[in-house]
Structure 1
């Protein structure tokens, strides 16, 4: 039996949801934390306003 001279390359590909789901969960946590901080501090920062707009758009009920 002879030794292989070139190692086999392992190709690993992640499915799309392996990146999308953790990213969505992280964004949701940021939205929750951003809205709580904005209400607690009375902040009018740009980031707080952006999170508020995104939260309002996602939770808007017709």
Structure 2
């Protein structure tokens, strides 16, 4: 005679999947983005052209705002 074993149903069918993320799942990408943005905003010896394009001017303004 075979014995019936009682197994638990998968977690998704018991009460739904756990969709909560840990705090670092959002914090780490945000920190990485900010670090890369600060590297872009602070070029050490970048003298590309005499005329500054609008993007460079915008980045300089953002740098000034973040320094304050």
Instruction: Give the structure-1-normalised TM-score.
Output: 0.56
The structure richer in helix per residue is 1
With CA pairs under 8 Å and 6+ residues apart, which has the higher RCO, 1 or 2?
2
User: Which has the greater radius of gyration?
Assistant: 2
Task: Count the aligned residue pairs.
Answer: 57
**Superposition RMSD in Å:** 3.0
Find runs of 4+ consecutive structure 1 residues off by over 3 angstroms.
none
Gaps of 5+ in 2: 1-18
Counterparts of 1:1-62 in structure 2, within 5 Å, are 13=21, 15=23, 16-33=26-43, 36=46, 39-60=47-68
Instruction: Give the structure-2-normalised TM-score.
Output: 0.52
